[in-house]
């Protein structure tokens, strides 16, 4: 019994992750009843982002510029490259603040079942980048999931043929983590990756 | 480290109810990385709704037409009026399908602390409607909360002076509700509102 435009808005809101029919209805009515200004701002922001945001020509992260700010920054060491799955991973690593190199964003992981192969992840672009910038070290920081590990393995094999040092970020017990509550797989990785003191 | 347009989108998404900084970031990246088509559709739907949706001139519900579909329907009994707080309440009552009259939507409840008084709820408009349509019965279906009850009480007092039959929807044990799990206040109301068999 909602009017067509409100129905359409409710339907469209369901494309947001974790939003079902009830929350979509709640969101639509909240915007139209109580936060008209916010709705107006959101409509503008979304339209602008959809029209202008694309991929960085160098590292493939999301940006509205031709090249993202990190790739434009001459202070960043182009000889070290960190490979991550998503732009959110770049933000997380930047927040940690200990990496001064550049990034390469896969925007996903190998997943043959979804039709995501090496081309979709831009691996040819990665190889060009590595040889063009004379990259010395590639750090693979894909997620520690089955797909992330498979992707890491595939990329490592490819890059090793190019005479590049390839490393994988360490896996183990997180800072502040109590051994008692850490899962078995992580503990096994932590033991395997032990360092001599 | 997100680009300005993406930051703006994340910020704007936070006007949605129940969306904090983390979910807003997740939503923005989901739209831009994986559901560009959905994002485009949402931007259009939101812009259209913000520009065109307003209030029904008769019952004040949200609609893009001058008068909503229920108020336009000549089959609906204009002599019975059901007062609800929000358009979602109209949808819920319509889904129940047992009311053939018209509605009046307050779009809120009396809340002096938020500056919501009788004018904001359109109570003058309600009085005009009641006398103009020669309404015989007004059913008050505001929520069963402190504010809803206060609003109900206020409206009932106003309308009684106009020689209209005013009723309040019944409160009691919901259908299928097991007595054991129903709260004390509801049980007290159910006992108080008992019917002779």
Give the CB-side neighbour count of residue A99, counting CA atoms within 13 A.
25
Q: CB within 8 A of B168, min separation 6: which ones?
A: B139, B140, B141, B152, B156
Q: What is the pLDDT along chain A (197 residues), one digit of tens a residue?
A: 789 999 999 999 999 999 999 999 999 999 998 898 999 999 999 999 999 999 999 999 999 999 999 999 999 999 999 999 999 999 999 988 889 999 999 998 999 898 999 999 999 999 999 999 899 999 999 998 899 999 999 999 999 888 899 999 988 888 887 888 888 888 888 888 888 88
Confidence of residue B98 (pLDDT cuts 50, 70, 90): confident
**Does any CB of chain B come closer than 8 Å to the CB of residue A96?**
no
The β-bridge partners of B54 are: B63
A6 CB neighbours in chain B (<8 A) are 49, 53, 62-64, 87
Nearest to B36 among A1, A48, A50 (CB): A50
Comparing CA positions, the residue from A59, A61, A74, A55 lying closest to residue A128 is A59
Taking the Cβ of residue B64 and every Cβ of chain A, the question of whether any pair is shorter than 8 Å is answered with yes
Q: Is residue A48 a contact partner of residue B46, using CB atoms and an 8 Å limit?
A: no
The residue to which tokens 């319509």 are assigned: B94
Asked if A189 and A171 count as a contact pair (C-beta separation under 8 A), the reply is: yes
Enter the tokens of residue A61: 């992260």
Domains of chain A, with CATH numbers?
76-168 (3.40.1360.10)
Identify which of A5, A70, A87 has the shortest CB distance to residue B48.
A5
Provide the 10 A C-beta neighbour count for residue A40: 17
How far the first Cα of chain A sits from its last, in Å, is 70
Query: Could you give the count of Cα atoms lying within 13 Å of B138 in the half-sphere of its Cβ?
Result: 28
Give the whole-angstrom CA distance, residue B51 versus residue B86. Answer: 20
Contacts of B36 (CB under 8 A, 6+ apart): A50
DSSP state of B30: I
């Amino acid at each position: 019994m909602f009017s067509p435009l409100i129905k359409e808005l409710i339907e469209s809101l369901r494309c947001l992750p974790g939003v079902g029919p009830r929350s979509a209805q709640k969101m639509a009515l909240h915007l139209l009843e109580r936060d008209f200004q916010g709705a107006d701002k959101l409509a503008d922001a979304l339209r602008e982002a959809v029209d202008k945001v694309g991929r960085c020509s160098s590292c493939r992260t999301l940006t509205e510029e031709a090249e993202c700010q990190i790739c434009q920054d001459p202070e960043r060491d182009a000889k070290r490259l960190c490979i991550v799955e998503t732009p959110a991973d770049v933000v997380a690593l930047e927040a940690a603040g200990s990496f001064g190199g550049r990034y390469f964003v896969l925007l996903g992981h190998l997943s043959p079942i979804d039709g995501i192969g090496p081309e979709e992840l831009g691996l040819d672009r990665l190889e060009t980048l590595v040889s063009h910038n004379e990259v010395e070290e590639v750090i693979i920081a894909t997620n520690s999931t089955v797909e992330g590990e498979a992707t890491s393995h595939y990329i490592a094999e490819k890059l090793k043929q190019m005479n590049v040092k390839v490393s994988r970020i360490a896996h183990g017990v997180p800072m502040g983590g109590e051994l008692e509550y850490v899962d078995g797989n992580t503990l096994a990785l932590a033991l395997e990756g032990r360092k001599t003191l």
